[in-house]
Amino acid sequence: MSDTGLDPQNPFAAASALPYGLPDFGAVREEHFRPAFDAGMAQERTEIEAIVADPAAPTAENTLDAIERSGELLRRTATVFFTRHGADATAGLDAIEEEVAPLLAAHEDAIGLDLRLLGRLDALQSAVDDGTVELAPDAAWLLHTRRRDATRAGARLAPDAQDRLRALNQEISVLEATFGREVLAAGNAGAVLVHDRAELTGLPADLIDSAARAAEQRGHGGAYLLDLRLPTQQPILALLEHRPLRERVHRASVSRGSGAPGAPAPTGGHDTRPTLLALVRARAERARLLGFPHYAAYVADEGTAGSVEAIQKLLASLTARAVDTARVDATVRAAALAADVPTATFEAWDWTYYAERDRSARFAVDDSRLRPYLELDRVLHDGVFRAAGDLYGLTFQRRTDLAGYHPDVRIYEVRSAEGREVGLFLADLYARDAKRGGAWMDSLVDQSHLLGTRPVVINTLNIARPRDGEPTLLTIDEVETLFHEFGHALHALLSDVRYPSQAGTNVPRDVVEFPSQVNEMWVRDPALLRSYAVHHVTGEPMPDAMVDALVSSRVHDAGFTATEHLAAVHLDQAWHRLGPDEVPSAPDDVARFEEQALSRAGVALANVPPRYRSTYFTHVFAGGYAAAYYSYLWAEVLDADTAAWFRRNGGRTRETGEAFRRSVLSRGGSVDPRRAFRELHGRDPDIGPLLDRLGLSVPGAPDAELLP
């Protein structure tokens, strides 16, 4: 046995010998995980015990550095496990997650609630305050955040309160894991089966072909299966001409997780509502134990927003403008439907279809015209990678000698303009039944000068797979998602910090989306468009008129987009502003609570449902965004302001890229993010550019006062 108590034959017993520390996925079997988790937790507890038992006065080296070095075995085990479980789940991995989730929560509590460890951090802070110890700025910020996090974890609570907190933390971890599994199962069960190809009129041939293969793979040869993507609005609704099928798809989407046997797309009993209610109640009690009125206040206290009042001020100001715009647009969309079906009532499943028709008519662009120019490999190499090269001098070389956890995973070595090794970028882009919905980024290895590690980063998307040999053609929304997730990857790849806990995206939740949303600005950069938007058959670049139209159509349907987003934010806030005794008790109360919450917030528009209904809102009930879905909006204020800064200062150049890298991307969580923003801009954020972007500016309105 190794000194960790783990069988040396277990691939987690030693750090990976592959380039950049890439996990050796091929060597890992499911039976390796549980022993490695157990050994990893035991090892980290031993390491922490050595730190708190050290008789020497606390210093950066024997306290901060030692904490940062601890837990390496557990970290590499958990990284591989949760990467595979999210992107390629199996029944075996589900069972392991169910076992280890409460154990991991208890382990985190054993460290986070250790008053001896907090006492050592307090003693170090006292030494800094009296001048006995001097810390580098990044170490001083690390000390501040670790003391804050320990207090927020409950380390200063009385023993009986800590006991209850431990029980709640284990319960929450199990409920979150359960919610995620049930949403994935409900989505698969709710896929819409179509037997008549004529109902698919409007879909391009490659998407019809994908639907046919999906049906065949699930035992429905000769039919067509329309899989559900995570958000409420399914992308195919913009294309389907057959109105009854649009309704079926929409109802299947919004019924996920409801468990209602009479729903148009039965979810096979995958009812997430009991889990959701138990989770909200447990979080509310946890916040109350920690001295906060509700969970939303607990979360806001850690972010740059600072308070729920500041969040509400921003939401209220934007909501009225977005809803007014959406209502005007709804009148236009309803008139278009009436011209086709005079007796029809305009419904939610009609919106994106008629919005896409309107966009096509006004700007001569729609997804059917755009997709032939948006071939995946071209977008990735001549769009995403080229922008990163122009801005940051990065190059990307495919490493076919390295393998991921699934054959779909592509691996690229990233180097600087000078040829210096930067890290690895992994791309897992195609949808699979075993992959959870949506798109995300993860760090497999964090950059750290302390540990001598370089970053290994993965982007995971859910793009429909074409038939072998056929091109993968994207919608413009999928192109934006590709750029967005790569913005997260850049945050990790360009990290330049000492401590691994401060690397890359390890920043407050309401700032983490800032760099990724900035990277979306290059999607519609005219010069870059002409590089990556090339017809997959003719090789001709996208015509100038189409490029101009695509650029000018950026704010098209902004009222709908902003309103559906804001509705989801309001829902998240409403659930997490409840006290423990205020949470509904019956699953049937969930829909009623939603309706009342949306009505109070002023976003109860029947034909603009929230981007996520509660029953499949994995961002907040399984994905780390609890009471923090506002983060996308908060970060978009920073993003829009920074996009305007890029345009004023020359656009996509090495000079602007270097300034953004130096002030924001390289810093990770090693500084207060507000300070990093001020270093770039010389001032605090301005909400005006976001209002302009969304088409919500009102002449003469005091926009600056909208931002807390």
Place of tokens 């995973």: 409
pLDDT at 531: 95
For residues 212 and 221, what is the distance between their CA atoms, to the nearest angstrom?
8
Counting Cβ atoms within 10 Å, is residue 483 exposed (0-12), middle (13-18) or buried (19+)? Answer: buried
**How many Å from the N-terminal Cα to the C-terminal Cα in the chain?**
57
State the CB neighbour count (10 A cutoff) for residue 121.
Answer: 23
pLDDT at 494: 98
User: Helices 558-576 and 631-648 sit at what angle, rounded to 10 degrees?
Assistant: 140
Question: Residue 65 corresponds to which tokens in the numbers above?
Answer: 């550095």
What residue type is 323 in one-letter code? V
- For residues 464 and 431, the answer to whether their CB atoms sit within 8 Å is yes
Place of tokens 């209904």: 613
3-state percent breakdown (helix, strand, coil) of the chain, nearest 5: 60, 5, 35
For residues 678 and 660, what is the distance between their CA atoms, to the nearest angstrom?
12
Report, as ranges of residue numbers, the positions in the chain whose pLDDT lies below 70. 1-4, 260-269, 698-708
State the CB neighbour count (10 A cutoff) for residue 42.
Answer: 16
pLDDT at 312: 93
Question: What are the pLDDT digits (tens) for 216-258?
Answer: 999 999 999 999 988 999 999 999 999 999 999 999 999 999 9
State the CB neighbour count (10 A cutoff) for residue 313.
Answer: 16
Shortest CA distance to 70 belongs to which of 144, 171, 151, 146? 146
User: Helices 544-552 and 348-363 sit at what angle, rounded to 10 degrees?
Assistant: 130
For residues 269 and 120, what is the distance between their CA atoms, to the nearest angstrom?
50
pLDDT at 702: 47
What residue type is 512 in one-letter code? V
pLDDT at 2: 54
pLDDT at 699: 55
Residues 6+ apart with CB under 8 A from 581: none
Question: Residue 291 corresponds to which tokens in the numbers above?
Answer: 């001295």
Question: Residue 598 corresponds to which tokens in the numbers above?
Answer: 């949306």
State the CB neighbour count (10 A cutoff) for residue 600.
Answer: 11
The residue extents of the domains of the chain are 19-156, 372-506+516-552
- For residues 470 and 486, the answer to whether their CB atoms sit within 8 Å is no
What residue type is 371 in one-letter code? R
The single residue of 44, 182, 485, 564 carrying the catalytic annotation is 485
Give ∠ CA 223-229-232 in degrees, rounded to 5: 115
Q: What is the CATH number of domain 19-156?
A: 1.20.1050.40
pLDDT at 262: 40
Q: Is there a catalytic annotation at residue 347?
A: no
Question: What are the pLDDT digits (tens) for 282-341?
Answer: 999 999 999 999 999 999 999 888 899 999 988 988 999 999 999 999 999 999 999 999
Spelled out in words, what is the top-level CATH class assigned to the domain 372-506+516-552?
A: mainly alpha
**Complete DSSP assignment for 558-589:** HHHHHHHHHHHHHHHHHHHT--GGGS--STTH
What is the pTM for the complete model shown? 0.90
Give how far Cα 204 sits from Cα of 359, 362, 480, Å.
18, 21, 20
Instruction: Give 347's Cβ-side CA count (13 Å radius).
Output: 14
Counting Cβ atoms within 10 Å, is residue 360 exposed (0-12), middle (13-18) or buried (19+)? Answer: middle
For residues 367 and 353, what is the distance between their CA atoms, to the nearest angstrom?
11
Question: Residue 515 corresponds to which tokens in the numbers above?
Answer: 């760099």
Alpha helix positions (H), 414-511: 476-493
